[in-house]
Amino acid sequence: MTLDRRTFVSGVAATAGLAASGALAKVSAQAASFEGKTVEWVIPFAEGGGSDVWARFMAPFLSKHLPGRPSVIIRNVPGGGSITGTNEFAARAKPDGLSFIGTSGSTQFPYLLGDPRVRYDYRDFEPVLVSPTGGVVYLPSKFGVASAKDLGKIKGQELVYGSQGATSLDLVPMLAFVVLGLNVRHVFGMRGRGEGRLAFERGEATIDYQTSSAYLTNVIPLVKKGDAVPLFSYGVLDAKGNVQRDPTFPDIPHFVEAYEMMNGKKPSGVAFNAYISFFGSGFAAQKPAMLPKGTPKPIVAAYRKAFADAVADPELQAKKDKVLGDYEQATGDDIEALYKVATSIEPDARAWVREFLTKNHNVRF
């Protein structure tokens, strides 16, 4: 199925109307000052989730550093796995700087896969911040695998992974296992990665991954006890889009290194290209903040500077560990490369993933 997303967002400027045009001119003429205004940060998820926590942590610092110090409020629009709120934003948001959206890998994945419910096009948005996160894949120690270079020992053995769903963020480890040539059976129905970890601890799952914060809290004790062995982190992307070691786990090889350790060569091919797209979207550039289509350049520049100043704020730096971790937030000139990785995929890689999911996991598009 071919999806022309741009068809559905072409009316954004018309929706804004003449009144919005006047507001845009006024804001631009005032050097993008938002004094006395209220800025709405749309989060297409329910309160209390990771994206909501991220936005509520960042909002006071954005308010502090935007010109005119406007109030920044969070508007949660859950539904459709974040598709509902993002569709609404794409269709209705005015490009006046008073509304922007923050999405996550859960929003990017349906877009990359060509989900017919999607009515938004990331090429139309103006990114002003990109936030990464990380994760670590690990095995039980009973397999005798000390590191990724030993994975050949179990290449033909069936492993079991507790998954939240074939098109969820668990698509990233699924593709990683395929590229590595591991024989992994995915058991769906986990309501979160915590359930997957508990299945691992009970011996029902024999390979697992946890996000950085959960790995630090819940898996490192298993490693110290000798019950689990880390294989690789997903890694992070530098400003040029190259995979680097996760700063939270500098002693653990990233996925590309793990592949080289196992196979003696660099990964390549359409499956690897697909993995990189979804890894970038799900982890290395998981949460972008974006202004709507048509936002004037002075407003975009004001937001980018405000987020850069917010990230550098000593108070944010002192409080960031529990929400942002050790990951470098992409601001300014570093935004574009990461945003592109998170929101684009080569046509052949998309076709390969769709065929793979349909053939192996009965996913319909």
Structure tokens at 32: 């993008």
Domain 135-281 in the same topology as domain 6-132+285-348: yes
Please provide the DSSP assignment of 321-363 as one string. GGTTTTPPPB-GGGHHHHHHHHH---HHHHHHHHHHHHHHH--
The angle that helices 335-343 and 105-113 make with each other, rounded to 10 degrees, is 60
Architecture of domain 6-132+285-348 in CATH?
A: 3-Layer(aba) Sandwich (3.40)
Residue spans of the domains in the chain: they are 6-132+285-348, 135-281
Tell me how many helices (H) and strands (E) the chain has.
Answer: 15, 12
**Contact, 105 vs 81, CB < 8 A?**
no
The pTM (predicted TM-score) of the whole model is 0.84
pLDDT in 10s for each residue of the chain, 365 residues: 333 333 323 333 333 333 343 444 344 434 689 999 999 999 999 998 889 999 999 999 999 999 999 999 999 999 998 999 999 999 999 999 999 999 999 899 999 999 999 999 999 999 999 999 999 999 999 999 999 999 989 988 999 999 999 999 999 999 999 999 999 999 999 988 999 999 999 999 999 999 998 899 899 999 999 999 999 999 999 877 889 999 999 999 999 999 999 999 999 999 999 999 999 999 999 999 999 999 999 999 999 999 999 999 999 999 998 899 889 999 998 899 889 988 999 999 999 999 999 999 999 98
CA angle 162, 245, 320 (to 5 degrees): 80
CATH code for the structural domain at 135-281: 3.40.190.10
